[in-house]
Amino acid sequence: MSDLDHLFERIVAGEIPSHKVYENELVYAFLDINPLSRGHTLVIPKTRYERIDQLPPETAAALGRALPTVAAAVMKATGTTAYNVLCNTGRPAGQLIPHVHFHIIPKHADGSGLPHNWPAAPIDKDDAPALCQAIVDAMPTA
Catalytic residues: 101
CA-CA-CA-CA dihedral for 95, 35, 81, 119, to nearest 10:
-50
Any bridge partners for residue 27, and if so which?
A: 45
d(CA 18, CA 114): 22
The 10 Å Cβ neighbour count of residue 114 is 16
Q: Could you give the C-alpha distances from 64 to 26, 106, 135, in angstroms and in order?
A: 11, 18, 22
Q: What is the DSSP letter of 54?
A: G
| Residue type present at position 91 | R
